Amino acid sequence: MTVQELTHFIGGEKVSGKSGRFGDVYNPATGEVIAKVPFASRDEVKEAIDAAEAAFPAWRDMSVARRANIVMNFRNLMMENKTKLAEVICQESGKTMDDAEGEIMRGLESVDLAIGAPQLVKGEYSVNVGGNINAYSARYPLGVVTAIAPFNFPIMVPLAQTSMAVAVGNAVILKASEKVPMTALFISELWKQAGLPDGIWTVVNGDKTAVDELLENPKVHAISFVGSTPVAKIIYEVGSKHGKRVSAFGGGKNNMVVMPDADLEQVANSFVSAGYGAASQRCMAISTLVAVGEGTADRLLPLIKEKVEALKVGPASENSDYGAVISQQAKDSILAAIDKGEAEGAELVVDGRKAPITTEGKGFFIGPTLFDHVKPGMYVHENEIFGPVRNIVRTKDLDEAIQIINDHELGNGVTIFTNSGYAARQFTTEIEVGMVGVNVPIPIPVGYYNFAGFKASRFGDGHMFGPDQARFFTKTKTISERWLKESDDKEMSFAFPSN
C-alpha cells in the first residue's frame, strides 16, 4: 500500500513540510498507516501567519454580499462532493458512512448560518444623541484568527469553528488534528474553488510546536479550541496571557436522566444510539443513564442489555453500527478504564473486552461495554471515557439525580426522559449544564443556536455554533459623528461633555 505524504495549505497552495518531522495517519479500521502528515516548525507557522495577515485587508474590505456569495459557493461544492468527503472521513477516522454523512450535514448548518453573516454583523445607529451628534456602532473582523480542531469530528467541528470567522472577514488558520488531516486538506481545495482569495484559508499541520506559535504569535487575535478539558484549560490560560480572545471547549460527561413514567423502549433505543454511536467518541455522547426511582433500572436493564449485545461493530464497508476508535493508544486507554471500573466494584453487564472484534479483529475496535451500579467517585463515573463504555447510575429521586450531575466538574450536555412537565421544568431550571434536552437523545443544538457547556467543559465566553460566533470573531467600534457648519461655535470648553 502506498503511503501518501501530505502537505500544508498556505497562500492558496499545497505546501510541502520543511521541518523534516512527520506523524503517521492511520486507517483505524485496519490499523495501517495511510499517510504521513508534516509537523510544521515555528518558522513555517510564522510564514503561514504572515501570508494570512497580508491577505486580510482585501478580504476585510470586500463587500459583505460578495463574501457571503463565496461562502454559498463553498456550501454548494460541499454538497456536490459529499460522498467523496464522507469517504475521506471514514478512511482516517474509522467512522461509518452514515455517521460521516450525518456529520457533514450538521457541519453545513454552521455554513448556512455564516451565509447570513451580513444580518448578524449589522450595527446600530442613533440620530442626534446630543449637539447634532449621530452615534453608531459597527462590527469589524479581528484579522488573523485560529481554530485548533479535534480528531473526533474531522468536518463538523472545523466548520463550526471557522465558517463564521471567514464570512465576517477574517483570515483563518486551521490547525487540524494530526490524526485526521486529510479532511481539512480536502475542504481547502473546495474553498479555493469557491473563489476564496488566497491566504484567507490556511491549514497548518503539526503538533505542540505549531500550537505554541499560534498561541504566542501577536499577529493571531483569536483562538477557537476543541479538545480535552486539561488541554482546553492550558489553551485558554496561555492564549489569554498573550492577549488573545480565546474560546476553549473541553470534555463532557453527559447524563440521561430517566424518570419512572418514561417510555422505556424509547429510552433504551435513545441511550444505546446516543451512547455508542461513533464508538462513543463524541463530547456530547451520553455517558451515563441515571435511573430515577425504585425499579426503573431493573425494568430498563434487560432492554438495554439486549440492544447493546446486538450492536454490530466493524468497518464502514460492513454496514456497522459503529466503527473503530482513533488509535491503538486510545484503545489501550479504554480497555484500562474497563479494568478500573470492574476493580472498583461496578457491575459489568456487557464486557466489550471479550468481543471477538476486540481480541481478534484488525484495527482499533472495541466491543460495546455496559456497567451497572456505578457510583460517584468511581473512575468510570468521574472521567470521560472516550470509547464505547457506558454506565448506569441508580438514584432514589430526581433531586438526587440533579445533585449528582451538578456535583461533577463537567457540564457539557444532559437530557431527561419523562412525560411529566413538572419534572422537566424542575430539571431544566436546576441543572447546571450548558445544553439540556427533554426527551432528546443528544441535546446538541442546531447550528443557529449557541453551543457551549458549563464548568470545566468550557473556558472563555465564546460559543461554538450560533450567532455568538459572529460576535466572537468581530470587534465593535462605536463612533460619534458631527459635521460642523462654519457658523458653529468655535470656542473651547473644558467641561466634561454631556447631553
From 283, 366, 374, 378, the catalytic residue: 283
DSSP state of 464: B
To the query of whether residue 283 is one of the catalytic residues in this protein, the response is: yes
367's grid cell: 466491543
30's grid cell: 485496519
Cβ atoms of 391 and 371 within 8 Å: the answer is yes
Pairing, β 245-249 against β 347-350:
unpaired
Residue of 68, 160, 252 lying closest to 450 (CA atoms):
160
Residue of 119, 85, 116 lying closest to 102 (CA atoms):
85
Kindly state the helix (H) or strand (E) to which residue 163 belongs, with its residue range.
helix 156-167
Return the residue matching grid coordinates 465593535.
476
Residue of 35, 49, 38, 41 lying closest to 14 (CA atoms):
38
- Give the residues across from 438 on adjacent strands: 416
| Burial label, 344 (beta-carbon count in 10 A; 0-12, 13-18, 19+) | middle
- If one counts every other C-beta atom within 10 angstroms of the C-beta of residue 326, the result is 25
Task: Provide the H-helix boundaries in 242-378.
Answer: 264-276, 296-309, 328-343, 356-359
Cβ atoms of 97 and 86 within 8 Å: the answer is yes
Ranges assigned E (strand) in 131-283: 133-141, 144-148, 171-175, 201-203, 220-226, 245-249, 254-258
The catalytic site residues sit at 283
